[in-house]
């Protein structure tokens, strides 16, 4: 239970704040491409020059177009399980809502969704968003997977509090088990039956342990899932702690989603403009350039340069140097403190531009700081917050990949708490090896390239 509690504590956040954030990711249902199927809209964009000709993207778009036609006119319904009922439940039998843990056929009555995977920057999100905009469906939702799971954990906590003391069957001495993922799934399904997940990834044991039951309930209620990911389903939560308990979810996901591999070029790097907002210390006067950028940005704000404190989840986040909606910070202030995803979401809500000074070369010797930096950039990117960076290495060399890094004191403490011996199978988990961070950093570099472009800088106002 310790890893689960650790994961929940790390991602803890106020449910009301997450609801506000999640609602902001669900556009008002004004169908932008009414009467246009995804393939037609895609070809229209290619013809107009908005998208480049790309045979791999076209093949993926064809699969999305087939899905669009499969779900046209579809209305979800809950699959009734065989056996059970009121008297069965009364006398200790299984209820209709229960599914055996090995039930991989949950949702077989509904159309299959699509799981799009491939390397970074190849257009997975662009194609999924095009598909989403074409779907004339009121009950649909487009959400980043990390934000979705943060909200799920908050709802699970609320469900457990509402449940109170466990119920007991009158003919049993044992408490009747309560599955908190069921009411959470009910709530999600009432809101949406088409869910499009961006950046589907599993790195947290708290997520890994509940996904099978949560999605079993969702699929039984007829939910259709579309997802983008950098990983093949079989590589999700690779080398994670207690991964054996996660494996049934992989089978369920592959049963309910067709796979589409998208291999192409990294368009984010191609799109980089001549101007840059990334300054390398030693190759240029990075400090002067950062000061100049801050001065220019401050001229557009109706405020003075001052410290600022953000109160969040009962504690204060203080930043030494801000001006209006501009945060002038550094790597130590943002990544050397014990900040988490919910803290970075607050930063993304309060500031439209963040200056990050003195970013060191990142490696597994500073794994915790590296994880925070990856989470920070992902959060700022998803919120279209503008970023200016000074760093000790060029962007392509910002992350140093090396083997044989010593185990940190933090990891040693965690291994002791979990009774994991060095050299054992569990000690090779991605939690300790940093494999997940090395994989994620490729995405971070790609995003940082895009975040330098003039097109990205012009997006923040529209995104808000």
pLDDT at 208: 86
User: What contacts 185, CB < 8 A, 6 or more positions away?
Assistant: 214, 217, 218, 221
Q: pLDDT tens for residues 196-230?
A: 999 898 877 888 889 999 999 999 999 999 999 98
Determine the 3-state secondary structure of 339 from DSSP.
coil
Alpha-carbon gap, residue 238 to 97, rounded angstroms: 30
Average pLDDT for residues 24-28, to the nearest whole number? 41
Most confident of 6-20, 104-118, 301-315: 104-118
Residue 116: beta bridge partners?
Answer: 228, 260
**E-strand stretches of 155-237:** 194-198, 224-229
Phi, psi of 327, deg, nearest 5: -110, 120
Pairing of strands 326-330, 315-323: antiparallel
Residue 362: beta bridge partners?
Answer: 399
pLDDT at 434: 56
Residue 185 pLDDT more than 60? yes
Residue 131 pLDDT more than 70? yes
What does DSSP assign to residue 190?
A: H
Q: pLDDT tens for residues 226-274?
A: 999 988 999 888 877 778 889 999 999 999 999 999 987 666 555 544 4
pLDDT at 206: 83
What does DSSP assign to residue 97?
A: T
Most confident of 19-23, 86-90, 241-245, 381-385: 381-385
Alpha-carbon gap, residue 7 to 202, rounded angstroms: 12
Lowest mean pLDDT among 48-52, 243-247, 310-314: 310-314
Alpha-carbon gap, residue 387 to 382, rounded angstroms: 12
The pLDDT mean for the chain works out to: 79
Phi, psi of 271, deg, nearest 5: -75, -10
pLDDT-derived band at 367, boundaries 50, 70, 90: confident
Residue 168 pLDDT more than 60? no
Determine the 3-state secondary structure of 111 from DSSP.
coil
pLDDT at 321: 94
pLDDT at 4: 38
Residue 392 pLDDT more than 60? yes
Give one word for 116, left, alpha or beta, with left for phi > 0 and alpha for psi -120 to 50. beta
Q: Are the C-beta atoms of residues 447 and 386 closer than 8 Å to each other? A: no
Counts for the chain of helices (H) and strands (E), in that order:
20, 11
Q: Are the C-beta atoms of residues 360 and 392 closer than 8 Å to each other? A: yes
Rg (CA), the chain: 23
Token pair 């065989």: residue? 82
Residue 28 pLDDT more than 50? no
> Alpha-carbon dihedral of residues 362, 367, 372, 374, nearest 10 degrees?
50
pLDDT at 299: 77
Distances (CA, A) of 247 to 97, 210, 236, 391: 22, 12, 9, 40
User: What contacts 325, CB < 8 A, 6 or more positions away?
Assistant: 301, 350, 351, 352, 353
Alpha-carbon gap, residue 188 to 228, rounded angstroms: 19
Half-sphere exposure of 254 (CA within 13 A, CB side): 11
pLDDT-derived band at 446, boundaries 50, 70, 90: confident
Residue 94 pLDDT more than 80? no
pLDDT at 81: 43
User: What contacts 222, CB < 8 A, 6 or more positions away?
Assistant: 76, 77, 78, 79, 107, 109, 110, 189, 193
pLDDT-derived band at 14, boundaries 50, 70, 90: very low
Determine the 3-state secondary structure of 240 from DSSP.
coil
What does DSSP assign to residue 86?
A: H
pLDDT at 108: 85
How does DSSP assign 299-315, residue by residue?
A: TTSSS--EEEEEEETTE
Position with higher pLDDT, 461 vs 342:
342
pTM: 0.61
Percent over 70 (pLDDT), the chain: 72
Residue 285 pLDDT more than 60? yes
Q: Which helix (H) or strand (E) holds 69?
A: helix 55-71
Sheet strand arrangement including 315-323: 278-280, 386-391, 353-359, 326-330, 315-323, 306-312
Q: pLDDT tens for residues 353-363?
A: 999 999 999 88
pLDDT at 35: 63
Alpha-carbon gap, residue 47 to 401, rounded angstroms: 41
Average pLDDT for residues 288-310, to the nearest whole number? 87
Q: Are the C-beta atoms of residues 26 and 195 closer than 8 Å to each other? A: no
Phi, psi of 263, deg, nearest 5: -110, 120
Q: For residue 149, give the nearest of 13, 45, 307, 325 by alpha carbon.
A: 13
pLDDT at 266: 62
């Amino acid at each position: 239970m310790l890893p689960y509690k650790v994961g929940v504590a790390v991602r803890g956040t106020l449910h009301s704040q997450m609801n506000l954030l999640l609602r902001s990711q669900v556009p008002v249902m004004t169908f932008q491409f009414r009467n246009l199927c995804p393939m037609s809209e895609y070809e229209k964009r290619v013809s107009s020059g908005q998208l480049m000709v790309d045979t791999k993207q076209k093949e993926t778009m064809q699969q999305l177009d087939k899905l669009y036609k499969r779900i046209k006119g579809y209305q979800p319904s809950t699959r009734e399980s065989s056996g059970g009922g009121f008297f069965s439940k009364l006398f200790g039998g299984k209820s209709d809502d229960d599914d055996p843990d090995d039930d991989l056929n949950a949702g077989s009555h509904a159309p299959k969704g699509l799981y799009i995977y491939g390397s970074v920057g190849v257009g997975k999100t662009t194609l999924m968003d095009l598909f989403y905009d074409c779907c004339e469906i009121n009950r649909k939702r487009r959400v980043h997977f990390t934000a979705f799971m943060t909200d799920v954990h908050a709802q699970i906590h609320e469900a457990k509090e509402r449940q109170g003391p466990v119920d007991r069957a009158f003919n049993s001495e044992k408490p009747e088990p309560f599955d908190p993922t069921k009411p959470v799934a009910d709530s999600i399904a009432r809101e949406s039956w088409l869910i499009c997940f961006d950046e589907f990834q599993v790195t947290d044991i708290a997520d890994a342990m509940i996904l099978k039951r949560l999605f079993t309930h969702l699929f039984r209620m007829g939910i259709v899932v579309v997802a983008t990911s950098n990983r093949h389903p079989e590589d999700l939560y690779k080398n994670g702690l207690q991964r054996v308990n996660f494996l049934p979810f992989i089978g369920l996901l592959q049963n309910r989603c067709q796979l589409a591999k998208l291999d192409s070029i990294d368009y984010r790097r191609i799109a980089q403009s001549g101007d840059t907002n990334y300054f390398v210390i030693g190759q240029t006067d990075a400090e002067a350039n950062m000061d100049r950028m801050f001065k220019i940005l401050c001229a557009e704000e109706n405020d003075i340069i001052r410290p600022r404190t953000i109160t969040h989840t009962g504690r204060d986040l203080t930043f030494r140097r801000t001006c209006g909606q501009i945060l002038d910070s550094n790597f130590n202030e943002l990544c050397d403190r014990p900040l988490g995803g919910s803290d970075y979401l607050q930063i993304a809500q309060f500031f439209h531009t963040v200056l990050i000074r003195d970013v060191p070369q990142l490696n597994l010797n500073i794994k915790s700081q590296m994880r925070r930096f990856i989470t920070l950039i992902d959060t700022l990117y998803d919120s279209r917050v503008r970023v200016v960076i000074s760093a000790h290495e060029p962007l392509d060399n910002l992350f140093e990949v090396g083997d044989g890094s010593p185990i940190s004191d933090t990891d040693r403490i965690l291994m002791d708490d979990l009774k994991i011996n060095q050299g054992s199978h569990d000690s090779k988990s991605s939690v300790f090896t940093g494999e997940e961070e090395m994989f994620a950093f490729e995405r971070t570099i790609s995003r940082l390239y895009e975040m330098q472009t003039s097109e990205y800088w012009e997006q923040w106002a529209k995104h808000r």
